[in-house]
Amino acid sequence: MGLLSGKTGAVIGASSGIGEAAAKLFAEDGAKVSVVARRTDKLNELVKTIRDRGGEAVAIPADVTVAADHARIVEETAAAFGGFDFAFNNAGTIGNFAPILEQSEADWDHTIDTNLKAVWMAVQTQARHMARNGGGAIVNTSSWLAVGALPGSAVYSASKAGMDGFLRAAALELATHGIRINNINPGGIDTKMTRDAFQNHADVLETFAAAHPIGRMGTPRETAQLAAFLLSDRASNITGQAMLVDGGYAIAGQRG
Ligand code: NAP
C-alpha cells in the first residue's frame, strides 16, 4: 500500500519544478492526480509519463489567478476519479525580484494575486467540496522567504508570509470540517524559478547553494516528499504548521 493509496486530488503548479516532481511522487505513492498549470504541452507530457509508469493522471489546464478555474479544477478532478480529498497548492511566481525602489504596483499585484490571493481562492473552493464530502487534506507551498529575506524579495516575502498567516486561521476553522491544512516552506531548491531569481549569475548561485548547512540546494523530489507525508494519513495529527524543508538554511547564526 502506497502512502497516498486510495486518495484523489490535484497538484496545482505541476508543469515544472516541485509540482512536477510531486505529481510523479504522489502517483507512485498510489494517488490519482489531476495535474494543473497553464502550459498544456508540459501537462500532457507529465500525464503520459505518469501513465507509462502505471499511475493515474489527468491534465487540467488552468490559471490560478482566475476565480472560476478553481471550481473547474475540483469538479473535473472529482468527475475523473470519483472524489477530491487532497490538494497541493504549489503554483507560484518569483515576480519581479528587483529592489523595492524599482518595483511597480503591477509587480505587487502580479505576485500577490498569484501567490496569495490564488491560494485563498483555491483553499476556499477545495474546502467547500471537502467539507461536504467527509474532509480532506491541503498543503500549500510557501517559502523560507516568509521568515527570511534576500535583496529583491520584499513583495515575494510578503506574499509567502501572508500565506503562513492565512494558514493558521484556516487550520482552526477547517479542523471542524475534518480538513487538515499545512504549508511547506522550501529553502533553495534547484528549479527554474531559482535559476531565474539569480538571473544566471552562476557564482552567486553557487555561494547560495553552499550556504545551506547540508552543502547544497534541495531537489524538487525531496521537497515533494514532505508534501506527500503531510497529505497522507500518517500526518493525521498535524494541521496549521508551516514547515521548513531547507537543509537547515533558515537556521540563524554565524557560518564559516
Ligand atoms: P517553477 O518550476 O517555476 O514552477 C512554478 C509552477 O507554478 C509551474 O508549474 C507554473 O506553471 C505554475 N504557475 C505559475 N503561475 C501560475 C498561474 N497563474 N496559474 C497556474 N499555474 C501557475 O518553480 P518551483 O521552484 O517549482 O516553484 C514551486 C513553488 O515553490 C512556488 O510556489 C514557489 O514560490 C515555491 N518555492 C520555490 C523555491 C525554490 O527554491 N525553487 C523555494 C521556496 C518556495 P505554468 O507556468 O505552466 O502555469
Q: For residue range 213-223, what is the model confidence (pLDDT) as tens digits?
A: 999 999 999 99
Report the CATH number of the 8-245 domain: 3.40.50.720
Cβ atoms of 10 and 37 within 8 Å: the answer is no
% of the chain at pLDDT higher than 90: 93
Q: Which atom of ligand 1 is nearest to the CA of 192?
A: 2
Q: Is any atom of ligand 1 closer than 6 Å to the C-beta of 223?
A: no
* 156 flagged as catalytic: yes
pLDDT attached to residue 118: 99
Q: Is any atom of ligand 1 closer than 6 Å to the C-beta of 18?
A: yes
Q: For residue range 161-201, what is the model confidence (pLDDT) as tens digits?
A: 999 999 999 999 999 999 999 999 999 999 988 988 887 68
Set of cell numbers at residue 18 = 516541485
Set of cell numbers at residue 252 = 540563524
Q: Which atom of ligand 1 is nearest to the CA of 20?
A: 9
Q: For residue range 101-160, what is the model confidence (pLDDT) as tens digits?
A: 999 999 999 999 999 999 999 999 999 999 999 999 999 999 999 999 999 999 999 999
Q: Is any atom of ligand 1 closer than 6 Å to the C-beta of 182?
A: no
Alpha-carbon Rg of the chain, whole angstroms? 17
Set of cell numbers at residue 89 = 497548492
- Run of H or E residues at 166: helix 154-175
pLDDT attached to residue 83: 97
CA 205 to the chain's CA centroid: 22
With bands split at pLDDT 50, 70 and 90, how would you rate the model's confidence at 255? confident
| 17 CA to centre of ligand 1 in angstroms | 7
Q: Which of 26, 156, 166, 208 is catalytic?
A: 156
pLDDT attached to residue 34: 99
By CB atoms closer than 10 A (0-12, 13-18, 19+), residue 251 is exposed
| 254 CA to centre of ligand 1 in angstroms | 31
Q: Is any atom of ligand 1 closer than 6 Å to the C-beta of 95?
A: no
